């Protein structure tokens, strides 16, 4: 229970369905006391036990430090994906099972379907939530069959509007609670957060003039024709596709690529340069536990709010895949999650990496 409307209604629905529910709040940082109080209040209204699990140390090590490490390496990570794997359905699931719980339930807008394969073995399929605008399956692509067998998504078959109405019906004070922020450990903007932990490392800003590159990350090196336009503060303060905050006159300019070895930020005036048709994928996970036959035609999302696009996935070896889109996609970014769908079903996903 996070103190928000989704997990609160999830707890209420479980109790109404006859489950013996227990509320658990994960303490992950120092500025979470208000939402903890809200979660505790909801548990009291629902007359269910309530516990606080302190995962601050583990959260800092596995999520925050990993987030900073990825940015320092020039990539743009998605900490919510890692948190679901390592904390919610890693630490929390493991601890609750050791306490003899049967399931862990969350307020995610996603659905689970139990099926049998040809060998009559039970398989758990992960589906998009009913509310397409709130669907959170994108963040769950790293889940395993073992984990899914012990997870429930009570609000997955409801829209956000229905969930708020249910909160009113259950007389929960969180019915109008604001939406949670995207990155829970950052209270301001990402740049200000990074400044606290990563020192500035100035380097040149170069405009990319050579259009002959076929790489999905258009500039793997500084081209001889590249013109130095100014200085950047540190590559970790910029992300692919960024327009504001570059500090150049005569624009607009867009961040096109980062040359980590030479500490160079590559920009372009032509927004079309951000359109690429291919990317490479690593750390792939398949929800059903085994890969499909390749090549495979699938719908793909390269970021949470990205409109799913048709693409063909090719397996190059056991660790690396190549994804080719039917049409060009804007600002493909290393470190982000790329997630695969077949209709409503989430097949799996991986991490976007550079094409080397």
Residue 331 near residue 339 (C-beta atoms within 8 A): no
pLDDT class of 32 with cuts at 50, 70, 90: low
CATH code of the domain covering residue 306: 2.40.30.10
228/304 same-domain check? no
Whole domain around residue 283: which residue ranges? 275-353
**Assigned domain for 190 exists:** no
Q: Determine, yes or no, domain membership for 347.
A: yes
Residue 221's pLDDT band, with cuts at 50, 70 and 90, is very low
The pLDDT value given to residue 53? 96
Of the candidates 66, 80, 184, 353, the residue annotated as catalytic is 184
The pLDDT value recorded for residue 169 is 96
Conformation bin of residue 280: beta by default, left when phi > 0, alpha when psi is -120 to 50: beta
Same domain? For 280 and 297 the reply is yes
pLDDT mean over 162-178:
93
What single-letter DSSP state applies at residue 141? T
pLDDT of residue 183: 84
Query: What is the DSSP secondary structure assignment for residue 271, as one 8-state letter?
Result: G
pLDDT in tens, 9-23: 999 999 999 999 999
Q: What is the pLDDT of residues 103-157, one digit of tens each?
A: 999 999 999 999 987 777 899 999 999 999 999 999 999 999 999 999 999 999 9
pLDDT exceeds 90 at position 215: no
Q: What is the pLDDT of residue 117?
A: 76
Percentage of the chain modeled with pLDDT above 70: 93
Q: Same domain for 9 and 141? A: yes
With bands split at pLDDT 50, 70 and 90, how would you rate the model's confidence at 57? very high
Please check the confidence at residue 77 and state whether its pLDDT lies above 90: yes
Specify the DSSP class assigned to residue 293.
-
Note the pLDDT of residue 214.
44
Q: Which of these is catalytic: 66, 80, 83, 353?
A: 83
pLDDT tier for residue 31 given thresholds of 50, 70 and 90: low
With cut-offs at 50, 70 and 90, classify the pLDDT of residue 356: very low
Segment 206-231 mean pLDDT: 61
Q: Are both 13 and 86 inside the same structural domain?
A: yes
Unique residue bearing structure tokens 């540190």: 234
Say if residue 306 is in the same domain as residue 320: yes
Residue 345's pLDDT is: 98
Q: How confident is residue 29, by pLDDT bands cut at 50, 70 and 90?
A: confident
Is pTM, for the whole model, over 0.85?
yes
The whole-number pLDDT of residue 211 equals: 52
Q: Please state, in angstroms and as integers, the Cα–Cα distance from residue 97 to each residue in 68, 104, 151, 259, following that order.
A: 31, 8, 11, 45
| Domain boundary, last residue among 269, 304, 321 | 269
Looking at the fold, whether 18 and 165 belong to one and the same domain comes out as yes
Q: What is the pLDDT of residues 259-282, one digit of tens each?
A: 999 999 999 999 999 999 999 999
The residues near 302 (Cβ < 8 Å, ≥ 6 apart) are 279, 309, 329, 332, 333, 336, 338, 352
Same domain, 237 and 342: no
Give residue 328's pLDDT: 97
Residues 149 and 44 in one domain: yes
Stronger pLDDT, 308 or 221, i.e. the higher one: 308
Q: Is 66 a catalytic residue?
A: no
pLDDT surpassing 60 at residue 232: yes
257 inside domain: yes
Number of domains making up the chain: 3
Query: What pLDDT does 138 receive?
Result: 98
What integer pLDDT is reported at residue 202 of this predicted model? 96
Please give the pLDDT value at position 225: 45
Q: Where are the alpha helices (DSSP H) in 105-221?
A: 145-148, 160-169, 190-197
């Amino acid at each position: 229970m996070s103190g928000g409307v989704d997990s609160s209604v999830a707890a209420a629905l479980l109790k109404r369905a006859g489950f013996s529910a227990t509320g658990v709040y994960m303490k992950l940082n120092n500025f979470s006391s208000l939402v903890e109080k809200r979660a505790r209040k909801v548990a009291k209204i629902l007359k269910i036990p309530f516990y606080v699990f302190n995962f601050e140390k583990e959260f800092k090590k596995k999520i925050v430090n990993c987030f900073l490490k990825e940015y320092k390496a020039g990539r743009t990570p998605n900490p919510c994906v890692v948190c679901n794997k390592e904390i919610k359905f890693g630490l929390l699931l493991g601890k609750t099972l050791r306490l003899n719980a049967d399931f862990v339930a969350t307020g995610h807008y996603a659905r689970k379907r139990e099926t049998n394969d040809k060998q009559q073995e039970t398989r758990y399929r992960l589906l998009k939530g009913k509310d397409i605008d709130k669907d959170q399956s994108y963040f769950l692509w790293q889940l395993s069959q073992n984990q899914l067998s012990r997870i429930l998504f009570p609000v997955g078959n409801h829209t956000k509007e229905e969930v708020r109405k249910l909160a009113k019906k259950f007389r929960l004070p969180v019915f109008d609670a604001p939406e949670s922020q995207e990155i829970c450990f950052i209270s301001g903007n990402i740049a200000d957060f990074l400044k606290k932990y990563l020192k500035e490392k100035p380097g040149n800003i170069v405009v990319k003039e050579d259009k002959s590159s076929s790489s999905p990350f258009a500039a793997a090196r500084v081209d001889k024709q590249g013109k130095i336009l100014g200085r950047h503060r540190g590559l970790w303060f910029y992300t692919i596709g960024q327009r504001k905050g570059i500090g150049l006159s005569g624009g607009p300019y867009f961040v096109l690529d980062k040359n980590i070895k030479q500490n160079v930020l590559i920009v372009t005036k032509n927004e079309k340069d951000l359109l690429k048709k291919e990317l490479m994928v690593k750390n792939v996970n398949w929800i059903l536990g085994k890969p499909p036959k390749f090549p495979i035609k699938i719908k793909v999302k390269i970021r949470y709010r990205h409109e799913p696009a048709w693409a063909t996935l090719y397996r190059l070896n056991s660790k690396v895949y190549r994804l080719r889109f039917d049409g060009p996609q804007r600002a493909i970014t290393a470190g982000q999650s790329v997630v695969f769908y077949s209709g409503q079903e989430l097949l799996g996903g991986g991490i976007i990496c550079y094409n080397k």
